[in-house]
Amino acid sequence: MARSKITPEQVRHVALLARLSLASDEEDRIRANMDEILEYIDKLNELSTDDIEPTAQVGDPGTPTRTDAVTNHPEADAMLANAPARERGYFKVPKIID
């Protein structure tokens, strides 16, 4: 069997960062999974990408943004018209903290 690239200490460190409590058999299974991932990355690193242009973005650039501007200027009286209680131009709510 090939030498593992991931040490048990590294698995425990990652588990600690992720706030996971792992049993020893789970540590072994995760260590094996991480080794498989690194082996696959090594295979990808063997590919020649000399003729491939660097790509900054793969998919759509996303939703275009607009400037954040207020388009409606509601009047305070109109907003408070249906309020069950109001005081000095504000909503009046029950006191919850003494």
Residues recorded for the chain: 98
Using one digit for the tens of pLDDT, what is the confidence trace for 19-64? Answer: 999 999 999 999 999 999 999 999 999 999 899 888 877 777 777 7
Give the pLDDT score at 2.
Answer: 63
pTM tops 0.75, yes or no: no
For the chain, which domains are there?
8-45 (1.10.20)
Please tell me the distance from the alpha carbon of residue 47 to that of residue 3, in angstroms, as a whole number.
23
Task: State the first-to-last Cα distance of the chain, in angstroms, to the nearest integer.
Answer: 68
Single-letter code of the amino acid located at 1: M
